[in-house]
Structure 1
């Protein structure tokens, strides 16, 4: 059976608060590391979140 193209990832806050979101992405369509601005409730601001591995 074929292996799925989607991989679970963790979006870590660049503010250094330790807050993170989990999501998934299609590795074939977006092979580069994902970065997006999302809300960090610890600092109560929108900050940049960068992709990291789920441990």
Structure 2
């Protein structure tokens, strides 16, 4: 059985660079500081639905 995947989108350019496994127990959207290859810097990436 495969896990459901969600995308992480850059808050600056909106590019969806990363995917992570969905967690049904999480009530708020995940926010992680990650590297964006389009912006060429570390930015906040937010969970998209």
TM value normalised by structure 2: 0.74
Number of residue equivalences: 48
Equivalence for 2:15? 18
Q: CA deviation at 1:18?
A: 2.1
Change (3 A) 1:10 1:19: closer
Aligned-residue RMSD, C-alpha: 2.0
1:43, distance to aligned residue in structure 2 (A): 1.7
Normalised to the residue count of structure 1, the TM-score between the two structures is: 0.68
| Runs of 5+ consecutive residues of structure 2 not aligned to the other structure | none
